[in-house]
Structure 1
């Protein structure tokens, strides 16, 4: 027995000693060096991932992609801090530590196409600056302790890139913050208060005559700017003026000037037959107006009426539907970039020059780093610890080469994206309008035209996400992933929240919605106009007078699904009204289930109502497996149940009324298509601009496109019916 205990004790001591040896081996200088190299490489790969995937965010509404990018964005910041800490506390000497530290500081400047993950990050611009100062202090200490060596010469060149990267990111965060938005939009806000007065009686949207919407203001030199400030200060002393003046001179490009440009590139009979180049400038000017919504600046009624005439003209022209939608798409692309990328700072007066300096430093610094580090390590320079392969080649040097390659590839990719970005196109077109000498250079015009027409992907996903209550109400997410404990770490998925497959945003849907918008923009109604127009308001209007908009949407959604299954269409692809009805019904139900912030009701009220509907559906339709069984049971219950206040019962009753309409099914599909199109327009106006901006980083929504249109026109919905 004692021998057995001795054997067990011996085995335990052996295991403990082996574990202790492993722990000690992980704490050796070589192990710490390997850890630093590994973390530096991982950080570089994560930054490359953000650089390549940044432009995918607004083109793909995919939750898995968002989680991956969030993880990469979050981990990068922590890895940089942790790795720099390991370097400064290292008990060994390695001459390449300063080189890696400088690259980590460059990575802290983030990608040009992925400056922040969410709008909340923009408000932390002061925190970012202080973090940068602290990190620079630590890296400076590391450089001083390393002494002057050959690799340090290359470090001094690369050091110049660090402040350029960091300060540009800080400036981007500040501009996108609440204070920055107010500061940068005041000039346009003050100008647009009186812009409509300059064109009274002389307005022609077809030629943009009278539309002095600002596209771009050429910045003056520093000396001229100082003189201008002194002159304005003197004038203010004599006559106080609290408005920022903007005088339309040669340095200001307006929409009217773009349309009047006689250069071949921008003429309808020359290089811009389809008007797409001029529309890029139009989208940029409208984007400037849309930014006022995020700064609490308002425009007078006359300014909105003038903008509405422009929108009407865009829609009335040949292929006007696609053109109007294209202009709004590009406008929202500029809005996305202003919040989530560095493009607004890069394309400021000196921003692109700073970017050129960065590239020059890259071109000089990378070869110098390789040229100096390789012979230094090839001759076994003075370092205490280094890792080497079997062939004798230093792994430290290979890690440095890998980081340099990733950094170089990332910068080249960013420059390519920047060169074909919409911001570059606007800059080139405005420069073309101002520079008459460019009008005589065919090669210049062809080059600008080639850049401005280069587009690899659509600006947005162009899909309608779908949700069907009768298909998904019984869905229950995994309780292992979503419970009271994980609610603190991730957005919960509630019961019944399961999307259907998304559908393409078809031209039929866009046409139906735009027609509804154009038919009665003065006073949006909750579907009433379409019901009156089709002569069914006396029977169906009750279903649009419910207490909340959430209930209205879900009641009509249930009724639409019932009618779809009880009166099926033989060939859905040939019935445009059917496609419009089904797509919009499931899309608005999707907004209720997943993004109620984009709808009129209070978001939590919508969530509470939706949860109640799910409980109601599970109770009433317990045991039903297929949609057909659920519809039959729901219709049966609705005829006998006395309590008609429940959404499911009201939906069944409305569905029965649709089936009882004394006309052919195609007429009912027409009624439903026009109703859902009008309802889509009705929910578009919103004072919660931030909610739309937040959703731009998730792929955008069709309702946001409509919101932009009605915001320009100043369209408001009718107050809710009491």
Structure 2
């Protein structure tokens, strides 16, 4: 049992060290090779502590204090118990692995009471004769504070509490009875809607790039304004106009930098202790915790060690130094966090206002020191030294996963192997390994998305844009008259069917484009990680096309609100493609994507497939061929039209995806769809801006 206790206590410390350093990586990487170890460590951390506390309690009851080591062994066990409370509090970098963990805060509260009782019982067994009573009490208080922090953080991030915290105060509005009574009786009042006197001044790009400090400050400001997005809070026209005016005069690069930083604040609130720690009470409790832990080390160091076993002393010092090391790392992360930079930057702006009013000299000195501190931190990042604190580096994975219909059909395993893999439940794993590719988000792709959305925000109404999934793009381009033939592929079909239609049509056009130097370039299996993958509309369209199909097939939860029976339609289309390729391609061993596309386009399509086949099968293979032939008639305009349609299809999915699903992706490396969602909200392209008129005001004639 003695060895088990030692291993369990040290394992608990190791898991805390692992989590404090590795847990933040999950918002920057979407690989399962990163997420799975973090998930295992998160689960094991609590289990190991429970196991260790159980062993210590059992040893105390069984007379561990009176074995061959003497009474000192029981004192050491009692001293180790508060460390386990400290570990149960967990690191600041992770309180929840998934959003569902926040809903279990009551379970953690009950566990807190139970573990406090267990640790208190262990201490009681060695009291009052314990030689380590003072450091044990100090560690007990420090560990309790840490565990309370975690439980409180989970409570605040739970759905009901988070919703209550962001709801605006009840607003009865102006006194309707008195206002209308005066208007009716005297006829001397005019009712002026509040919004009539406030117009949006949409400026062009000012050409000024935001520095890192401004990015964080603006992101924090909009985070505080729009944090209610996650619980479907409605917003007013003032909030819409403020964010819209800011983003309309930004470059695409700066707009996405602000969005990325804003999503980082959302992540911190939902998955870490940031919202707890970055408060005055949080600072106070953190200071108390650190002081008590350091005091426990000092107290233990100066105590007489007579009667203590050497191995127990080594483990005890390891626990103490580990606890102080974890607190030091947490303190450094707290000081260097975006929250601290945003707080100081906001206070700096307020300090300038105080200086203009000739007041607040002490505050101005504090702000001056804070400003220098921010510049010092940001200088680390710009110099890129080996020990730099990369505060602004990689706020999300920037991975755009790709899944291609044609490639999966041409390179799939033989039917016998497919059936065997399905029987062994390995088919999805093998498909991901073979067909799921990754492109990196590039500035060119960001510019395309931002420019198209900004154009819609400038000229289109919110209802029209949010409800459009290609129609607006086809009706507002230079070839709008010719595009009328394409409207039926977006207006007369549901979103899931439209998505698959345009994906296959894009692939057909991509692989038969004679102006391209290498039509099969993307089919080589290489993953392009540079801007070359999105340097022209043709490749950009393919990236967006493969990404949207990936979401529909591999992330159906994010598309469930719009894609409907998308997966059934995809399977039926695959079945028809299997039959067609078996008859026309595989037998002739012409399996290149170019040849497959040419053979598909050679099929006569004068008759609508639904007329010939009926509508029992949901396949859209030859409907997509009809669409591709129509698109090829536009020649050099084809890719411009496709890019506009794909951005609109992307935006439609983003704005109709449940906020809960967007929030879930923040802990898995993030998704481009989530960035587009928040960007559309900031540009005013959201149905959550429902307060248009505000209060009516009375004005005399």
TM-score strictly above 0.5:
yes
CA deviation string 1:115-166 (max 9, x = no partner): 1111111111111011110111111111111233223322111111122111
Pick closer, same or farther for the CA change 1:646–1:629 going to 2, 3 Å.
same
SS state at 2:444 partner: helix
* 8 Å CA contact 1:420, 1:451 repeated in 2: yes
| Alpha-carbon separation, structure 1, partners of 2:506 and 2:643 | 10
- 1:446 aligned to which of 365, 372, 375: 372
1:469 aligns to what?
Answer: 405
In 2, distance between residues paired with 1:682 and 1:405?
53
Match of 2:469, SS state, is coil
Match of 1:405 in 2: 321
Shift in Å at residue 105 of structure 1? 1.0
Answering whether residue 508 of structure 2 is matched by residue 562 of structure 1, we say yes
The one of 288, 307, 330 aligned to 1:380: 307
From 248, 255, 272, the equivalent of 1:315 is 248
Q: Which residue of 1 aligns with 2:442?
A: 506
Residues 625-673 of structure 1: per-residue CA shift (max 9 Å, x gap): 54345434544567597438522222233223333x153xx32222222
Q: Which residue of 2 aligns with 1:543?
A: 489
Aligned to 2:233: 297
* Distance (Å, rounded) in 1 between the aligned partners of 2:489 and 2:201: 43
Give the Cα separation in 1 of the matches to 2:571 and 2:345: 51
TM-score, reference length from structure 2: 0.77
2:653 matched residue in structure 1: 683
Give 2:274's aligned residue: 343
Query: Structure 1 residues 637 and 49 mapped into 2: Cα distance closer, same or farther (>3 Å)?
Result: farther
Question: Which residue pairs with 1:159 in the alignment?
Answer: 140
Which 10-residue stretch deviates more, 88-97 or 577-586? 88-97
CA distance in 2, matches of 1:602, 1:614: 21
1:305/1:142 CA distance change after superposition, 3 Å: closer
Distance 1:638 1:401 in 2: 80
What do you get for the CA RMSD once the two structures are aligned?
A: 3.6
Are residue 631 (structure 1) and residue 588 (structure 2) matched? no
Secondary structure at the aligned position of 1:96 is classed as helix
Aligned equivalents of 2:104, 2:166: Cα separation in 1 = 20
Alignment of 1:38-437 (within 5 A): 38-90=7-59, 91=62, 92-93=64-65, 94=73, 95-147=75-127, 148-187=129-168, 200-201=197-198, 274=210, 276-300=212-236, 302-303=237-238, 305-307=240-242, 310-317=243-250, 320-372=251-303, 375-376=304-305, 379-381=306-308, 394-435=310-351, 436-437=360-361
Task: Indicate the residue corresponding to 1:655 in structure 2.
Answer: 628
Alignment-derived partner of residue 231 in structure 1? none
Structure ranking higher on relative contact order (CA contacts 8 Å, 6+ apart): 2
The 1-side partners of 2:173 and 2:28 are apart by 32
The answer for unaligned runs of 5 or more in structure 2 is: 66-72, 175-192, 352-359, 382-389, 522-531, 688-701
**Could you list the per-position Cα deviations for residues 389-423 of structure 1 after superposition, in whole angstroms to 9, with x for gaps in the alignment?**
xxxxx322222233333333322222222111111
Instruction: Name the CA distance, whole Å, in 1 between partners of 2:196 and 2:291.
Output: 47
Separation (CA, whole Å) in 2 of partners of 1:306 and 1:510: 23
Q: Which stretch has the larger CA shift, 48-57 or 146-155?
A: 146-155
2-structure distance, mates of 1:348, 1:481: 56
Per-residue deviation at 1:696? 0.8
Query: TM-score of the superposition, structure 1-length normalised?
Result: 0.75
Map of 1:12 onto structure 2:
none
Q: CA deviation at 1:498?
A: 5.5
Q: 1:297 to 1:667 in 2, by over 3 A?
A: closer
Q: Which moved more, 1:569-578 or 1:409-418?
A: 569-578
Shift of residue 701, structure 1, vs aligned partner: 1.0
> Could you give the per-residue CA deviations for residues 654-696 of structure 1, whole angstroms, max 9, x where no partner exists?
223333x153xx3222222222122222322126111110111
Contact 1:476–1:494 (CA<8 Å) still a contact in 2? no
Which SS does the other structure have where 1:114 is aligned? coil
Q: Counterparts of 1:481 and 1:113 in 2: how far apart (Å)?
A: 42
Which residue in the other structure is 1:583 paired with?
Answer: 543
d(CA) in 2 for partners of 1:651, 1:710: 29
Cα offset, 1:354, TM superposition: 1.4
1:274-295 Cα distance to aligned partner (Å, 9 max, x none): 4543442322222123221233
Structure 1, 124-133 or 608-617: larger mean CA deviation? 608-617
Residue of structure 1 equivalent to 2:180: none
Q: Distance in 1 between matches of 2:31 and 2:152?
A: 29
Structure 1: stretches of 5+ with no match in the other structure: 1-31, 208-267, 387-393, 718-722
Secondary structure of 1:503's partner? Answer: strand
> Are the counterparts in 1 of residues 290 and 324 from structure 2 also a CA contact under 8 Å?
no
Distance across 1 between alignment mates of 2:420 and 2:16: 28
Q: Conserved in 2, the CA contact under 8 Å of 1:549 and 1:601? A: no
**Deviation of 1:459 (Å):** 1.6
State the 1:172 CA deviation.
Answer: 0.7
